[in-house]
Each structure stands twice: as C-alpha cells, then as structure tokens.
Amino acid sequence: MVPFIGLTGGIGAGKSTALAALERLGAAVLSTDPLVWELYDSPDVRDAVIARLGPSAAPDGVVDRAAVADRAFATVEDRSWLEGLLWPQVGARIMAWREALDLRSAPPRAAAVEVPLLFEAGMEAAFDATIAVLAEEDLRAARASARGHRALAARSARQLSQREKAARATHVVTNDGSVEQLEAELSAVLDMLTE
C-alpha cells in the first residue's frame, strides 16, 4: 500500500521545497495551489466569485486571485464562503488523483499532497500520515516577503500556528537549514512510513 501523505506548514515554511524533495525521494506529488488556480479558471467558480465579490474580482472575465484573497481574508463571512466553494472541489480532485495513482503499473514510493490549510480544512483524516514543515519565524517572514505575499498578517492569523500544526501532525520536519538537510529529514520519515 502506497502511503498517502498530507504535507502542510505555515506561509514561508518551505512546503513547496519539501514537496520537491519528496518527489526526488520517489513520491508522487501534488500541490493544491495549482488546483485552486484551475478552479478559478472554471466558469462555475468564476461566476460564483463575480456574483459574491463583484466584477472587480474578475476583470475581463479572469479571476484576480490576489484581489479575491485580499477580499476573502478581510471578513470571516467572505473567507468562509470562499472556502466552502473551493475546498470540497479541491478535496474531490485530490481523491481522483489518488485513485489514478492506484492504476499505475509501477506504484510510487509514497503519494504526497501539499495542502497549506490541511488542518484548518479538516482534511487530515483523508491521509495515512501528515507532515508539518516548520521554520524559524524570521526566516518564514523573509521568504514570504521575497515571494510578494499580500495580506501576510491576515493570512497568517487565520492559519493555525506552527506549534498547533506540529502538535496535530504525524511527523514534523524543520526547514531552517539546507535543502539537503530537509531532504534527509523527509527521507527518514518516508523510511518509517514505507517499512
């Protein structure tokens, strides 16, 4: 049985770096961010966003993800509405991807899905194990700033703290050092999960 892993962490912790490392270690990987972007391109989601947030959320019929995020993180009601619109569809796409992996003639070492709001969305039960990626706060802030994250404080405030994510996760890895160090930690986790 291929272990099904949910990967999470705070903004700037290095989830994408960890996901790439897991892929190098033989895992099939999926990031939910591109799934959300695809959903924003779908007519149903685009039309729902326009109906809720107004035409400025989708100039020329294309959803402005940054504008939607700014608006959604501004109020609990808009955030809950957006999560209710997107999370069930993201969950369905994750499960379809997982089912497709079962049809492969050569199974991967593991299947890992990067879900930034894994615990917040209540999706942890879908996975055999979860990994929380942690990093020192100043380093996280610097990484997030370098990537131009908007409304960082508001986004961080609606996520569980690193401590809470670590307490809920099956495994915890630290991403304060080199990529090689992170990969070594992840390799040890995969060894435990695939014994």
The pairing of strands 110-114 and 27-31 is parallel
Using a cut of 0.85, tell me whether the model's pTM lies above it: yes
Task: Provide the 3-class DSSP secondary structure of residue 194.
Answer: coil
Residues 6+ apart with CB under 8 A from 155: 11, 69, 73, 149
Q: Count of domains in the chain?
A: 1
Sort residue 55 into left (φ over 0), alpha (ψ -120 to 50) or beta: alpha
Q: Which residues span the domain enclosing 78?
A: 4-193
Predicted confidence pLDDT, tens digits, the chain (195 residues): 899 999 999 888 999 999 999 999 999 999 999 999 999 999 999 999 999 999 999 998 899 988 898 888 788 899 899 999 999 999 999 999 999 998 888 999 999 999 998 998 889 999 999 999 999 888 887 877 776 655 455 556 667 888 999 999 999 999 999 999 999 999 999 999 987
∠ CA 113-161-168, nearest 5°, is 55
Q: Are 102 and 185 in contact (CB under 8 A)?
A: no
Q: Residue 133 maps to which CATH number?
A: 3.40.50.300
DSSP letter assigned to residue 54 = -
Kindly tell me the burial class for residue 190, based on how many C-beta atoms sit within 10 Å of its own C-beta (0-12, 13-18, 19 or more).
buried
